[in-house]
């Protein structure tokens, strides 16, 4: 039966190719056939009209091609091939009778020296199979997407609740901190008064003693010693505050700050100078600076006398290549590129939305746990984007503080609702109350242990406050982002997607940044910019500067897939990267319907159906 069918089809196709098709339908899509009925037909662009015998007479009467849908006479005309068994297509008139088979039914070469085989049946079958797979992917993808959207809504609500809660806590804490601060101020005032009094007293005693024994020299007073130490502590504290503020604009490596007071000072000063406090920068800086003049000389080439012949060759070559003089040559650069995987050929591109169905991977990780791992891999990268830094800063604290303070490492959201958490705030409040009650401001001398307790409480509370504030700002920052119509990209916020191409590892963190890593060195391919093309593309821009080129940027094209997978990283123009991310987030129902309709249409147009 099938053989018969195919046989009939071939016969039919052969006949179609050999006989010149009727001029009044040649190259005209069925929906337009009505337009061409009648004796005088108008050019669509209104430029004129033509008689029926001028239709497809191989002479262009309408510059827009209305009169020559079936020939190559009008450059702007389009030719319709029916392609029974496959999908009809419309091709440029430049392809008609040009000796190259463009339509699978061969109808575009009705008057040329080539004979085109009708390949629609085979090609159609392959296309239908592909489309079927694609539809299947979409079907599953739509389900996953729905789940994700649900989860995202929940997570979003949780985050909003968390934010509200944090804001409440912030208010309370702020009150406490203010109180403690006031108390601390009073204590300090009292201490100061006491100190002055003591000093006066000492002075009095000292003068007395001097009078008594002029030979005796005044040894430093123990209490004075304590005082000066305290003053230093204040300074230290202030500097810590400064350092913290700066850390807000620096990188995760500033966790040194909180780890050791000594390095905090150092970092603080570095930050003040406006140089990013990247790990190692401080140590490397002098070395790099000393290297600078040499390189400068190389590049300006004003004085090649000092260069070896090879250096001179490299230096001159570098003008064209834009490479560092120290790199070997364009050749070697290419050598690196060689290891890049070549993107799959065009077929892949056509079918790029197809994904082999795979069990959906649960990627909806926790907010911090996921990121935490990533951060460690980012050891030597800069995170100087403001919003991000705050987030990172929070995270840095979090490494220690969440462990110690929250006891609940892991999901940030649930923390807040648990009773244990609430008691944390109560505890502080309680403690502070105790402190207030216990401390006697009018007692002289000041009870030193009480004073230090007040200071400790103040320090604790204000550090807690700053943590909460930083959580608030990072959360607020997060919620500000565009997560798509259905918040379908909500989970992207805390995820990074990775792929390896050759020796490079590409890492794309939505809403944050993208990078290319090779060994320990990493290049910033761009910071999060926005979604483009109605959420079909993620755009990262303003990455590391390219020599003689643009700042690096990356466009990630999203296609429907059952899990989040990054692939096909390419660099079509220098430093302008592209990649593909398969994700259920873009498996939308409308597209599924569209594909389903297309598949239905294709299946119904099978020649089998036509013949029978």
Partner 1 sequence: MDPPPRRLAAPLLLLLLLLAAASPAARAWKKDEFRNCNQTPFCKRARTRAPHSLDAPLSLAAGSLAVSHDGSISAELSHPSRPRPLVLRLSALPPHALRLQIDEDYSTATPPHRRFHVPDVLLPDLEARTLHFPEPKTAAGVSTVALSSDLDVVVKHDPFELTVRRAGSGDPVLSFNSHGLFDFEPMRESKPEDETWEEHFRSHTDKRPRGPQSITFDVSFYGADFVYGLPEHGSTSLALRPTRGPGVEESEPYRLFNLDVFEYLHESPFGLYGSIPFMIGHGDRASSGFFWLNAAEMQIDVLAPGWDGATAQENGRIDTLWMAEAGVVDAFFFVGSEPKDVIKQYISVTGTPSMPQQFATAYHQCRWNYRDEADVDGVDAGFDEHDIPYDVLWLDIEHTDGKRYFTWDRSAFPNPEEMQRKIADKGRKMVTIVDPHIKRDSSFHLHQEATDKGYYVKDANGNDYDGWCWPGSSSYPDMLNPEIREWWADKFSYENYKGSTPTLYIWNDMNEPSVFNGPEVTMPRDAMHYGDAEHRELHNAYGYYFHMATADGLLKRGEGKDRPFVLSRAFFAGSQRYGAVWTGDNSADWDHLKSSIPMVLTLGLAGLPFSGADVGGFFGNPEPDLLVRWYQVGAFYPFFRGHAHHDTKRREPWLFGERRTVILREAIHMRYSLLPYFYTLFREASVNGIPVMRPLWLEFPDDKETYNNGEAFMVGPSLLAQGIYEEGQKSVSVYLPGKESWYDLRNGSPYKGSVTHKLQVLEDSIPSFQRAGTIVPRKDRFRRSSTQMVNDPYTLVIALNSSGAAEGELYVDDGKSYDYQQGAFIHRRFVFADNKLTSFNIAPDNLGKKFTSDCVIERIIVLGLRSVAKKAIIEPGNQEVEIESGPISLRSGSSPVAPTIRRPYVRIADSWTIRIA
Please identify, using beta-carbon distances, which residue of 354 and 416 lies nearer to partner 1.
354
Phi and psi (nearest 5°) for 344?
A: -60, 150
Q: How far is the CB of 122 from partner 1 (least distance, A)?
A: 19
Give the integer Cα–Cα distance in Å for 220 and 354.
82
Please identify, using beta-carbon distances, which residue of 322 and 420 lies nearer to partner 1.
322
Residue written as tokens 């929250």? 406
Residue 187: both structure tokens together: 């204590």
Ranges within 535-574 binding partner 1 (CB under 8 A): 544-550, 552, 569, 571-574
Ranges within 84-113 binding partner 1 (CB under 8 A): 92-95, 98-100
Q: How far is the CB of 312 from partner 1 (least distance, A)?
A: 4
Please identify, using beta-carbon distances, which residue of 300 and 369 lies nearer to partner 1.
300
Please identify, using beta-carbon distances, which residue of 383 and 458 lies nearer to partner 1.
383
CA distances from 360 to 27, 586, 593 (A): 46, 14, 21
Q: Is 74 in the site for partner 1 (CB under 8 A)?
A: yes
Residue from 174, 523, 541, 596 in contact with partner 1 (CB under 8 A): 523
Q: How far is the CB of 501 from partner 1 (least distance, A)?
A: 7
Q: Is 521 in the site for partner 1 (CB under 8 A)?
A: yes
Residue from 343, 365, 484, 608 in contact with partner 1 (CB under 8 A): 343
* Rg of the Cα atoms in the chain: 37
Beta-bridged to residue 573, according to DSSP, are 576
Residue 573: both structure tokens together: 């123009």
Ranges within 366-395 binding partner 1 (CB under 8 A): none
Q: List CB contacts of 127: < 8 A, sequence separation 6 or more.
A: 86, 87, 602
Q: Which has the closest alpha carbon to 538: 559, 552, 517, 520?
A: 559
Please identify, using beta-carbon distances, which residue of 301 and 541 lies nearer to partner 1.
301
Q: Is 352 in the site for partner 1 (CB under 8 A)?
A: no
Residue written as tokens 């999060």? 528
Ranges within 280-339 binding partner 1 (CB under 8 A): 284-285, 288-289, 291-292, 295-296, 299-302, 304-305, 307, 309-317, 319-322, 324, 326-331, 333-339
Neighbours of 287 (CB within 10 A): 9
Q: How far is the CB of 346 from partner 1 (least distance, A)?
A: 6
Please identify, using beta-carbon distances, which residue of 291 and 448 lies nearer to partner 1.
291
Q: How far is the CB of 348 from partner 1 (least distance, A)?
A: 9
Residue 80: both structure tokens together: 């319709």
Q: How far is the CB of 372 from partner 1 (least distance, A)?
A: 25
Ranges within 15-54 binding partner 1 (CB under 8 A): 45, 47-48
Please identify, using beta-carbon distances, which residue of 274 and 359 lies nearer to partner 1.
274
The SS3 of residue 64 is coil
Q: List CB contacts of 516: < 8 A, sequence separation 6 or more.
A: 504, 505, 506, 507, 522, 523, 525, 577
The SS3 of residue 532 is strand
Please identify, using beta-carbon distances, which residue of 92 and 364 lies nearer to partner 1.
92
Ranges within 570-609 binding partner 1 (CB under 8 A): 571-576
Ranges within 455-514 binding partner 1 (CB under 8 A): 501-502, 504
Please identify, using beta-carbon distances, which residue of 83 and 474 lies nearer to partner 1.
83
Residue 385: both structure tokens together: 């984007």
Helix runs in 213-306, H state only: 222-247, 255-259, 261-272, 281-300
Of 141-149, 206-214, 474-482, 515-523, the window that binds partner 1 (rule: CB under 8 A) is 515-523
Torsion-angle region of residue 149: left (phi > 0), alpha (psi -120 to 50) or beta? alpha
Q: List CB contacts of 182: < 8 A, sequence separation 6 or more.
A: none
């Amino acid at each position: 039966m099938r053989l018969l069918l195919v046989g009939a089809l071939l016969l039919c196709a052969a006949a179609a190719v050999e006989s010149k098709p009727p001029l009044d339908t040649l190259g005209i899509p069925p929906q337009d056939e009505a337009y061409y009925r009648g004796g005088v037909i108008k050019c669509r662009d209104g430029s004129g009209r033509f008689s029926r015998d001028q239709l497809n007479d191989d002479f262009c009467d309408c510059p827009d091609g209305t009169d020559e849908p079936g020939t190559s006479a009008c450059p702007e005309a389009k030719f319709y091939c029916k392609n029974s068994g496959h999908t009809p297509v419309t091709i440029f008139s430049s392809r008609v009778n040009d000796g190259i088979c463009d339509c699978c039914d061969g109808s575009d070469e009705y008057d040329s020296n080539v004979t085109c085989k009708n390949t629609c049946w085979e090609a159609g079958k392959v296309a239908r199979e592909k489309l079927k797979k694609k539809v299947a992917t979409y079907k599953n993808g739509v389900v996953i997407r729905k789940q994700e959207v649900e989860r995202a809504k929940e997570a979003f609500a949780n985050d909003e609740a968390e934010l509200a809660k944090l804001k409440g806590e912030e208010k309370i804490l702020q009150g406490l901190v203010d109180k403690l601060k006031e108390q601390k101020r009073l204590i300090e005032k009292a201490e100061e008064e006491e100190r002055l009094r003591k000093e006066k007293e000492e002075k009095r005693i000292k003068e007395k003693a001097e009078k008594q024994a002029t030979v005796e020299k005044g040894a430093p007073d123990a209490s004075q010693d304590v005082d000066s130490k305290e003053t230093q502590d204040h300074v230290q504290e202030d500097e810590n505050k400064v350092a913290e503020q700066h850390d807000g604009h620096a990188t995760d490596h500033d966790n040194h700050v909180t780890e050791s007071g000594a390095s905090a000072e150092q970092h603080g000063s570095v930050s003040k100078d406006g140089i990013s406090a990247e790990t190692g920068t401080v140590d490397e800086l002098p070395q790099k600076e000393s290297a600078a003049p040499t390189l400068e000389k190389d590049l300006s080439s004003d004085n090649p006398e000092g260069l070896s012949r090879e250096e001179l060759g490299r230096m001159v070559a570098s003008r064209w290549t834009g490479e560092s003089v120290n790199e070997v040559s364009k050749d070697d650069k290419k050598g690196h590129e060689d290891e890049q995987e070549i993107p799959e050929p065009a077929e892949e591109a056509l079918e790029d939305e197809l994904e082999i169905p795979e069990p959906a991977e649960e990627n909806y990780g926790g907010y911090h746990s996921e990121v935490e791992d990533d951060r460690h891999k980012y050891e030597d990268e800069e995170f100087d984007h403001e919003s991000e830094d705050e987030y990172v800063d929070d995270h840095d604290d979090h490494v220690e503080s969440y462990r110690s303070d929250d006891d609940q490492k892991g999901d940030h959201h649930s923390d807040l609702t648990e009773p244990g958490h609430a008691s944390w705030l109560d505890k502080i409040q309680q403690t502070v109350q105790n402190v207030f009650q216990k401390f006697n401001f009018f007692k002289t001398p000041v009870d030193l242990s009480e004073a230090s307790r007040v200071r400790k409480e103040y320090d604790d509370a204000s550090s807690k406050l700053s943590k909460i504030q930083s959580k608030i700002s990072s959360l607020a920052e997060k919620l500000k982002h565009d997560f798509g119509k259905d918040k379908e990209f909500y989970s992207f916020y805390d995820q990074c997607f990775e792929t390896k191409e050759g020796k490079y590892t590409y890492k794309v963190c939505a809403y944050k940044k993208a990078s290319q890593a090779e060994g320990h060195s990493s290049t910033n391919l761009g910071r999060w910019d926005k979604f483009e093309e109605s959420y079909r593309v993620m755009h990262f821009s303003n990455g590391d500067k390219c020599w003689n080129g643009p700042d690096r940027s990356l466009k990630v094209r999203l296609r429907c897939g059952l899990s989040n997978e990054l692939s096909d990283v390419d660099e079509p123009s220098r430093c302008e990267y592209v990649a593909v991310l398969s994700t259920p987030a873009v498996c939308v129902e409308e597209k599924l319907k569209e594909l389903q309709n297309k598949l239905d249409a294709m299946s119904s147009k099978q020649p089998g159906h036509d013949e029978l």
